[in-house]
Structure 1
Amino acid sequence: MTLSHLPLASVQLDRGIYDDRRRLNRAYLHALRPAALLQNHYIQAGIGNQLWHMQPSHDSPAARGLDRHWGWETPGALLRGHFTGHWLSAAAREVAVTGDPVLRNAIDEVLDGLARCQDESDGEWMWAIPPSFLQRLERGLDVWAPQYDMHKTLMGLVDVHREIGDERALTIATRAAQALLRWVRGIDDEAFQQILDVETGGMLEVWADLLEITGRDIYRELLDRYWHRSLFDPLLGGRDVLTNMHANTTIPEILGAARAYEVTGDDTWRRLVEAYWDWAVTRRGTFCTGGQTSGEIWTPPFSFAARRGDKTQEHCAVYNMIRLADVLLRWTGDLGYADYIERNLLNGILAQQNPRTGMVAYFLPLAGGATKAWGSATEDFWCCHGTLVQAHTRHAQHVFYSGEGGTLTIAQFIAAHAEVATDGGPARVSVELPGDADEVGPDSNAGEAGDLHRPHALRVRIVIDSPDALRVRVRVPEWVAGTPLVSGGIAWEIVDGALLLAHSGGTASVDIALPWDVRVEPIPDEPGTVAFLEGPVVLAGLVDRETALRGRVDAAADLLTADDERHWSQWHSRYRTVGQQTGIRFVPLHEVVDERYAVYFPVH
């Protein structure tokens, strides 16, 4: 079974944690001024008069950071300009879904600026870095990933064209690509293979995108030139070349291979993608969070005990591996990839965004007693700032997929609704999470009106309003503890590990309870050290150091009991230890902000 995304405008998030995080992200996109996003592009093009408007306010010196961008975007920094492309991609997706007029106007300003830089240079170059960076790369001199940097702007332009149909963005991108094409053609194949060993970002992906959009053979030529032999050939030959390799150098290349397969139909690209997943995930395993990297590199297979520290789980790698899982979910229909996405959304994307400020944590430390180090709005602009703003515009896309025979698949339990076409007219399908509602709900009181204690199940309501029959396939997650409980006015059955709803038309709903237990996941190479999970959610113990628990590993889940479970109309996921010399309280990892915490605990 193959799946496909629904059109962006047909899916909307409803109120809940994912929409809250999206709104934080939208506010951040709004706060960044086009002139500041363009500062390094203007400097490179020699356009100085625009910078006068960016001088710090004399009556508000504290606003310095909002007038200019610093960190990796500081004028003179080697990756300057990279964030602008991420911003364009994120803003375009937000506009495509919500029609946001403020972001639409800001996109226009950024495109105006990039077009001006292009026109006032050589008609092609609009990047924030100079051509000399490519010359240094070609000569083997020290330079920090110019192709990675340049790809981000191309990516943003392609996404603006694809998501909101802006032809000007495509024109800027195709004109700029000419400079890269001439550069590539001037280098022999062996020398270019050496260049490909320096991080190229998603260049392969953008060439596939432009080939699909334009049909021009020059982009097919570029696809062929960007075949990275030292990485791709061993993977196809069944060898592990990932251990201790920089992870997010390679994941975008494989995402490019995925797009190359989708655009060209050449099965070699698909086999490469499947081989990468096999070595990156299936044969390597993950931390309890679903993330994998430590110090930005792939750990050895199933060897995590020595890799826990303050630089585990790079946000960029989490974001791009979710994208890769989404690719394989669409190609195969295998909902196991949706399980992977869920684990990484909850314990990566949400856990690495500050729920108060919206800022990103570059890494998610897994050492005992660690704290998350949050970025700032304008003083850092790490690579993970870029994937942050993109990640929180994609949540709705992970919920619904269309499939063969008109079947709609619900892959994630995120409050959202979709408009889908049927033979009889448009239908609306909603995913509701009654336990997440802000208002007083039906379980406000005990007895017949609700539960005495927090239910050990995720409650999901699927509402279908359709003039025609509609089949809806709902993921039964890998963490479910027992058989899902289903009630309502829609016929259902479990088929191939998924709940299949056969809606006959009209308006009806079904309530699904997905039971969960508190369980433990040991570190494979240190089985006496465990993490605690509630369903897919990793629980963090609020401690200032690695702390051992007394008990039996095979019964470690019994060391936690419910704690502080109810506030007004809301159930809360809170636990505390029992039978320990000192009590420890546990909360979901994605709720930790500035507290010290641990997720792994030795038990003996």
Structure 2
Amino acid sequence: MKTNVFHIALLLLLSVTALAQMQPFALQEVRLTGGPFKNAQDVDLRYILALNPDKLLAPYLIDAGLPVKALRYGNWESSGLDGHIGGHYLSALAMMYASTGNAEMKKRLDYMVGQLARCQAKNGTGYVGGIPQGKVFWERIHKGDIDGSSFGLNNTWVPLYNIHKLFAGLRDAYEYAGNQQAKQVLIGLGDWFVELIKPLSDEQIQQVLRTEHGGINETFADLYVLTNDKKYLETAQRISHRALLEPLLAKQDKLTGLHANTQIPKVIGFEKIATLTGRTDWSEAAIYFWQNVSQTRSVAFGGNSVREHFNPTTDFGQLLRSNQGPETCNSFNMLRLSKALFLDKNDLSYVDFYERSLYNHILPSQHPQKGGFVYFTPIRPNHYRVYSQPETSMWCCVGSGLENHTKYGELIYSHSANDLYVNLFIPSTVNWTAKNSKLTQRTEFPYQNQSELVIETTKPQEFSVNIRYPKWAENFAILVNGKAQPVDAKPASYVAVRRKWKSGDKIIVRFTTSTRLEYLPDGSNWAAFVKGPVVLAAKTSTNDLTGLFADDSRMGHETKGKLYPLTNAYALVGNPATYLNQLKPIDRLRFRLDSLTLQPFYEVHDARYQMYFQTFSKAAFDEQKTRLKQQEAEAIALEANTVDKVNCGEQQPEVDHQYKGEKSDSGYDDEQFWRRTRSSIAYQLQNKNRVGKYIDIRALDDIRLDNVDFLINEKSAELISSEGKTIRLRADSQDVISLKITARNEKSTPRFNQIRLVTQ
């Protein structure tokens, strides 16, 4: 398959404007030829092959009442999010096939789609899905029976998010691999969904959309592109979440406290709908969101969020303290948004961010030898990351991780009707089939600041090769067949080289890069070393890497090793003029910093590390060290006393503790999350080794015992103490403790903030 059928459909639909816009090359037209990205692609391919398609298909077969060929996977695939990895797997197979031509990818993809078609035919309604008790759940929604929160809809774990992965997987199977059966299954599924929500009012649909739903509005816009049937575009607009869209339209920042990866896919949908409808206000809203997140909420490596939620732009302190740093899924989707905006707006600032995130978050999120994907990337000094394993780990970041390393060729090059654009310096080839031309890029960047571009063409022809002049590059120079060319462009633009090209013509691109300190966006004194687009970090220890490769436990994606005090982290003491002078070059992209060795963060694995460094004058350093030492001692003592804890109102902690609730809502006030109820909420706490003795509950309001009841393992809890906004209960000496909080007379409970199971 030499053309991308989905892109052809889009270009035909937008034929009036497409010629003026940047266009992507199909993955089939680009091949990686070496370097760390090619290695990452190869490692991902092995991980994809290690997964069993029949296990991934089992939830769909179970729902359709068909016999399974293998038991479904455990972990998230059998605890409520059943089937979501299967959707990602379709996308990964399709894109890996397009990027490599690997026949086994195509064979597995065709098999998966065929089995899904069987399930759809058996269901007889167009529906196919792996959601537990899916038919019962969807019937309740169809009838308008809706009780939703940020991640639970009718006490079902993010069902629209789940089914969005299947929508996207079927789309990708057709788009990238030309599977016609996938298109038919996708249309059937889309028609079923249109009928499902037809009886619902706009208010009810917005109520449904309170729960995380991925980019389902984008996939219905894609269905419109594939079919030119306006009902899909109308549906895409109808299922766009107004609670996020309206503040963005007004250029209002209402993001702090929101679950980050819930929002980003919605905005990708806003941008797609804008390109199809001409709604420039929706596109401006997407741009505002992108600028807000990329410029004020992202750290040096491109990631964002703490414990999966957007932190305040004025305080990154929680991010520095937490073992749950930016989530890989966030950057997966921010790259998709950056690519969409770049192709729409021809603005290289989107490529700058894309490149930064690609090198420093996406590439390091996979173990380069053993494989395995990272969920959280902490910036807490002297902490580490956890890697998935094929048989144990079925997290969301495994799903997006499968896709991340299949599509590195998507934006290395782009083209207009007549000209070629080189956006990234990655060893690769691109076949420009429309021009019967091929370009080969040979480079060792970022270890060498040079790239060689060699052109092959069937006959001499004139066009421009536009080479990105990155904003981080200095002394930018271009030679054609050994002759220097004028460079009158500025950083963050293209240098156009136009001539009649013939086979064998060679372009040499040369530049220099400098090392600089980039401070956190909140204006604090924490900074990271960056050389060119590459973030540098230091391995600090290989001690206590508990759970480095995840088991199948519900929270296996989180680190279990102890937190080292922030006061133990290396600090830069002196003044701004001397900080960089402390770096001593060792080798290509390696520097000595006293006892530490800085190297590209994407090379740092199987170790604790330090990426961010505090900067101090000598007097400020001594003062800060004393203050932090006391704070750290208190925080570490509390964690040592804690057996398990729930941060109420935060998505993943509540999912991890099997949250159930009725007539409940959650929010974020004064930089703290909370949950309350007019009926009941419940959590399960893990009492490892049965050492937990007490349950401490904290609220943002006074806890009045005449308004609320507490049950532990279905028995009235024994009250130990109660003081204002805190309460202590005696814990049950069981391995699992079920805590249920009920409101009396449907009066709202206080806003509960945190629940801790403690030893003393």
- TM class, shorter-length: 0.7 to 0.9
* Structure 1 residue 435, shift from structure 2 partner: 6.2
Q: Secondary structure at the match of 1:127?
A: coil
Q: State the SS of the aligned residue for 2:429.
A: strand
| Cα distance per residue 1:239-265 (max 9 Å; x no partner) | 111111111111111111122123333
Equivalent residue, structure 2, for 1:178: 191
Give the whole-Å Cα distance in 1 for the aligned partners of 2:499 and 2:75.
53
Alignment-mate amino acid for residue 292 of structure 1? N
Question: Distance in 2 between the 1:492 and 1:401 partners?
Answer: 23
Tell me by how many angstroms 1:592 deviates.
1.1
Q: Distance in 2 between matches of 1:243 and 1:329?
A: 26
Q: Is 1:600–2:605 an aligned residue pair?
A: no
Task: Return the alpha-carbon distance in structure 1 between the equivalents of residues 445 and 277 of structure 2.
Answer: 45
Judge conservation of contact 2:214–2:265 (CA < 8 Å) in 1. Answer: yes
Question: Following the alignment from structure 1 to structure 2, what is the Cα–Cα distance between the partners of residues 302 and 396?
Answer: 36
**Displacement of 1:498:** 2.4
Matched, 1:299 2:306: no
Structure 1 match to 2:579 = 556
Letter in 2 for 1:298: F
Q: Is this contact kept in 2: 1:252–1:320, CA < 8 A? A: yes
Specify the alignment match of 2:475 in structure 1: 483
Moved more, 517-526 or 408-417: 517-526
Q: Name the Cα RMSD after superposition.
A: 2.0
User: Counterparts in 2 of 1:31-42, with a 5 A limit?
Assistant: 31-42=50-61
Structure 1 residues 282-313: Cα deviation after superposition (integer angstroms, max 9, x where no partner):
4x242111222211112222532442222111
Amino acid at match of 1:183: L
Matched-pair contact (CA < 8 Å) for 1:211–1:263: no
Cα 1:98–1:401 change in 2 (3 A) is same
Identity of aligned residues (%): 28
Aligned counterparts of 1:234 and 1:435: Cα–Cα separation in 2: 41
- Decide whether the 8 Å contact of 2:161 with 2:216 is kept in 1: yes
- Pick aligned residue for 2:41 from 14, 18, 22: 22
**Counterpart pick for 2:65 among 46, 59, 84:** 46
The amino acid across from 2:77 in the alignment is: E
Q: Displacement of 1:526 after TM fit?
A: 4.9
Q: Which runs of 5+ in 2 are unaligned?
A: 1-19, 148-153, 542-567, 617-760
DSSP-derived class of the 1:469 partner: strand
Residue pairs, 1:97-246, within 5 angstroms: 97-129=99-131, 130-134=134-138, 138-140=145-147, 141-246=154-259
Aligned to 1:514: 511
Q: Deviations over 1:464-505 (max 9, x none)?
A: 22321221111111212x321333426453335322222432
Q: Is 2:437 aligned against 1:427?
A: yes
Whichever residue aligns with residue 500 of structure 2, its letter is: S
Say if 1:434 and 1:155 are closer, same or farther in 2 by CA, change over 3 A: closer
Equivalent AA in structure 2 for residue 495 of structure 1? A
Per-residue CA deviations over 1:488-530 (Å, capped at 9, x if unaligned) read 4264533353222224321221222221112111224354322
* Contact 1:434-1:461 within 8 A present in 2 as well: no
Letter in structure 1 aligned against 2:593:
T
SS of residue paired to 2:610: coil
Mean Cα deviation higher: 219-228 or 84-93? 219-228
Provide the aligned length of Structure 1 versus Structure 2. Answer: 552
Q: Deviations over 1:139-158 (max 9, x none)?
A: 20322210000111111111
d(CA) in 2 for partners of 1:148, 1:525: 32
For the 8 Å contact 1:367–1:546, the answer to whether it is kept is no
Q: 1:91 aligns with which of 90, 93, 104?
A: 93
Equivalent-residue separation in structure 2 for 1:488 and 1:306 (angstroms)? 51
> Greater share of strand residues, 1 or 2?
2
Q: 1:62 — aligned with what?
A: none
Q: Who is 2:450 aligned against?
A: 459
TM (normalized to structure 2)? Answer: 0.70
Q: Which moved more, 1:528-537 or 1:545-554?
A: 545-554
Residues 77 and 394 in structure 2, CA contact (< 8 A), matched pair in contact too:
yes
Deviation at 1:78, TM superposition (A): 1.3
| Cα distance in structure 2, aligned partners of 1:524 and 1:100 | 43
Distance 2:512 2:262 in 1: 39
User: Is 2:489 aligned against 1:495?
Assistant: yes
Equivalent residues of 2:297, 2:311 under 8 A apart? no
CA distance in structure 2 between the aligned counterparts of 1:366 and 1:134, rounded to whole angstroms: 41
**Residues 305/556 of structure 1: CA separation in 2 closer, same or farther (3 Å cut):** farther
Between the two structures, name the one with larger relative contact order (CA 8 Å, sep ≥ 6).
1
The separation in 2 between residues aligned to 1:587 and 1:315, in whole angstroms, is 21
Query: Among 528, 531, 534, which residue is 2:531 paired with?
Result: 534
Post-superposition shift, 1:136? 5.9
3-state DSSP of counterpart to 1:603: strand
Q: Is the 8 A contact 2:450 2:511 kept in 1?
A: yes
Q: What residue number does 2:591 align with?
A: 575
Tell which structure's C-alpha radius of gyration is larger.
2
Report if aligned partners of 1:90, 1:393 keep a CA contact under 8 Å in 2.
yes
Q: Which amino acid aligns with 2:413?
A: F
Determine if contact 2:271/2:286 at 8 Å carries over to the other structure: yes
2:64 and 2:308 mapped to 1: Cα distance?
33
Q: Is the 8 A contact 1:493 1:501 kept in 2?
A: no
Give 2:717's aligned residue. Answer: none
Relative to structure 1, is the Cα distance of residues 28 and 291 closer, same or farther in structure 2, using a 3 angstrom cutoff?
same
SS of the aligned residue for 1:201 comes to coil
